[in-house]
């Protein structure tokens, strides 16, 4: 697969041409895109994105459910084989969840640190 390289929601250019990416860079970009996009936010596919409002945020939702939803989003990215490391910290007082993970892909290991 091949895609347009993006950073902070903007296309990247190289020598005046749109920069294209493949391999591990593409999988990493897709992971970042999926985790940064809230479900229902993308007009082309309202079912795409991470279900923050539906399964992660809110008083009635559980930490285990939130982690399961995040892991599902990670493994749904094309090229991801499995999650090999998944660390999180949850600060109850501020209700902040920070996630770091490593996943095995068709192109080697990818590390994601928030």
29-81 pLDDT, tens digit per residue, is 999 999 999 999 989 999 999 999 999 988 788 999 999 999 999 999 999 99
Q: Nearest-CA neighbor of 82 among 107, 104, 111?
A: 104
Query: Following CA atoms 40, 29, 56, 82 in sequence, which dihedral angle do they give, to the nearest 10 degrees?
Result: 120
76-101 residue pLDDT tens? 999 999 999 999 999 988 888 999 99
pLDDT of residue 41: 92
Q: CB under 8 Å to 63, separation ≥6 — which residues?
A: 90, 97
CB 88 within 8 A of CB 67: yes
> Global pTM?
0.87
Distance of CA 42 to the CA centre of its chain: 15
Structural domains of the chain, with CATH: 3-113 (3.10.450.40)
Three-state DSSP state, 85: strand
């Amino acid at each position: 697969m091949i895609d347009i390289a993006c950073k902070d929601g903007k296309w990247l250019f190289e020598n005046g041409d749109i920069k294209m990416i493949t391999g591990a860079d593409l999988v990493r970009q897709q992971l970042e895109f999926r985790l940064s996009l809230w479900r229902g936010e993308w007009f082309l596919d309202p079912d795409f994105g991470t279900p923050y409002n539906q399964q992660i945020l809110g008083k009635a939702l559980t930490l285990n459910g939130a982690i399961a939803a995040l892991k599902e989003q990670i493994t749904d990215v094309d090229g991801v084989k499995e999650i090999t490391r998944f660390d999180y910290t949850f600060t109850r007082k501020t209700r902040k969840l920070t996630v770091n993970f490593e996943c095995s892909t068709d192109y080697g290991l990818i590390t994601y640190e928030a």
